[in-house]
Amino acid sequence: MEYLIGDGEVKCLTPSGEIAPATQKEIGSLSKKQIAIRSDGLIVLDEKGEVVWSTRKRYAQHFFPLSVVDYARAIYAFERFGKPLPILSVDSHDTLECDFKCADCLSGCGKSLPIEEYPKDNFKMPLEFYEHILKEIVEYSSRRGFSKVRFEQSGEGNPDFYEFRPEILSFAKRNANMGIVYVTSGSQTDDSLRHSLIENADFIRISFPGIGQNAYRFYSGQTDFTYNDSMKNLEKILDERRKNGREKDLMVGARLALRSEHEGAYLDFAKRLREMGLDVIQIVKILVPEYKRPEDFPVTSLAMEQLQATRDLENPSFGVSLPHSLDSMYYSREIEDRREFPQQCFSALIQPVLMGRSLFVCTKSEVMYSQAFRLGTFQGVPQELEQFLSPAQVKEVTKNVPGECKSCCSIYDNMLMHSLQGVIRSIKSGLRFYEVIK
Ligand code: SF4
Ligand code: SF4
């Protein structure tokens, strides 16, 4: 039996696809984290309660602590009732400092940004100024009826290096009611940062460059912090989460890239993490090396077996996220079929990116490094975000997107919004949106 959760109600989805009233109380007491781990797609019902559209792609880790239903509702309100879109999520890159030298780093290990092209002091983020930016964002969204903006901090470097991290985490949670996602290797996570994360974060995700004691040196030129150090760091996080009673709502996960050297190692790695008490593991494809094609790097049969066995480790308290198709080791974000791609970029409107003090339309490197795609730079005055995201400014900055975007860093989000837009426009009845829970 599966369940549907949305609009504060729960329904059953029978194995034959019928919608029935929920009978099990158990599902009603699940925390947001538990729902996210068990999430298995989105279903749209019309006024008669009939399924009019569904997708079984999993978005849970990607949107958490929001859900795909938040995105669907925002697009629905915009399309059907002309309500302006709020910012749902902001991805903040507030430090360029990094102690890793990953071969596949998109930001050249935090060093390839043309700093001189940014406004003066763009990457100086005193605590008060950062607080002003977050306040602007949440007030902007709150004026548009949305009160829990997702705040992801991942650095264009190692976010642990930002000097006021414990304080900004606390401000974001306590004063701005934001949903906090923190992505790090953990190499510089000290006691004070860990305490603040345990107290304030919704999701801590540890990135592993590779599996095994030599992996950090091999993939990231890092010898001061090793695979074993990362495991110890994870143990400390999980231990402190338990001591603070946050097991039910603080998600802790790991992210690992598909690598040919790991073909026989995925399963043991995932088993170990599950035994430690981790909630989710995400194994991802990384971008295809320049001038190559993804199909030049097929997944071996051993890797395929291991990945399928890893998927089978999944249970209601351990989520496994694998690439949607396991046809190759790498992926390309190339927009292959323009007819299938939206005419407007939703991502730029609902999940812009902060680079220091500047707000950009998205994270794609060729866009992020181009000042033409800067929506504005915060100066510290009230309601300045209204100007950055005014219809005229957005129209001007995004006039060539997605038309001139050869590839898209938010391709799945944009395709999802595009599909929803099509459903909302073609079905005139009132629609309701539900997350499917396994
Ligand atoms: S940790 Fe991130 S920013 Fe640093 S080198 Fe690796 S990929 Fe680049
Ligand atoms: S790459 Fe282009 S279409 Fe994709 S999110 Fe960025 S601006 Fe939008």
Q: Please list, in sequence order, all residues whose beta carbon lies within 8 angstroms of the beta carbon of residue 88, skipping any fewer than 6 positions away.
A: 66, 70, 71, 74, 141, 146, 149, 150, 350, 351
Report the DSSP pairing between strands 280-284 and 2-6. Answer: unpaired
Atom of ligand 2 nearest to the CA of 342: 3
415 lines ligand 2 (CB under 6 A): no
Q: Which residues line ligand 1 (CB under 6 A)?
A: 98, 100-102, 105, 107, 109-110, 157-158, 185, 220
The C-alpha atoms of residue 15 and residue 60 are separated, in whole angstroms, by 22
Please tell me the CATH code under which domain 86-201+337-408 is placed: 3.20.20.70
- Encoding tokens for residue 173? 């949670």
At residue 197, the pLDDT reads 98
Q: Is the pLDDT of residue 183 over 80?
A: yes
Residue 18 φ then ψ, to 5°: -80, 150
**Distance (Å) from CA 410 to ligand 2 centroid:** 6
The segment(s) of the chain belonging to CATH 3.20.20.70 are: 86-201+337-408
Point out the ligand nearest to the CA of residue 185. Answer: 1
**Would you call 41 helix, strand, or coil by DSSP?**
strand
**Distance (Å) from CA 408 to ligand 2 centroid:** 5
Q: Is the pLDDT of residue 128 over 90?
A: yes
At residue 327, the pLDDT reads 87
Q: Is the pLDDT of residue 324 over 90?
A: no
Point out the ligand nearest to the CA of residue 255. Answer: 1
At residue 29, the pLDDT reads 83
Q: Is the pTM of this model over 0.85?
A: yes
At residue 244, the pLDDT reads 98
List the single range of 28-32, 161-165, 338-342, 346-350 with lowest mean pLDDT: 338-342
Between 385 and 58, residue with greater pLDDT: 385
Q: What angle do CA 313, 201, 205 make, to 5 degrees?
A: 40
| Atom 6 of ligand 2, residue of closest alpha carbon | 362
Atom of ligand 1 nearest to the CA of 209: 6
Atom of ligand 2 nearest to the CA of 413: 5
- Encoding tokens for residue 410? 């938010």
Structural contact between residues 123 and 64, judged by C-beta atoms closer than 8 angstroms? no
Q: Where are the alpha helices (DSSP H) in 24-126?
A: 32-38, 60-63, 68-81
Query: Per-residue confidence at 24, pLDDT binned at 50, 70, 90?
Result: low
Query: Per-residue confidence at 391, pLDDT binned at 50, 70, 90?
Result: very high
**Would you call 401 helix, strand, or coil by DSSP?**
coil
Q: Please list, in sequence order, all residues whose beta carbon lies within 8 angstroms of the beta carbon of residue 232, skipping any fewer than 6 positions away.
A: none
| Atom 1 of ligand 2, residue of closest alpha carbon | 408
- The separation between CA 159 and the C-alpha centre of its own chain, rounded to angstroms, equals 15
Average pLDDT over residues 136-159: 95
Between 112 and 136, residue with greater pLDDT: 136
Query: Which run of H or E residues covers position 127?
Result: helix 127-143
At residue 338, the pLDDT reads 77
**Distance (Å) from CA 426 to ligand 2 centroid:** 25
Angle, helix 127-143 to helix 165-174, in steps of 10 degrees: 30
Of 114, 123, 86, 116, nearest to 378 by C-alpha is 123
Query: Per-residue confidence at 365, pLDDT binned at 50, 70, 90?
Result: low
At residue 162, the pLDDT reads 96
At residue 296, the pLDDT reads 87
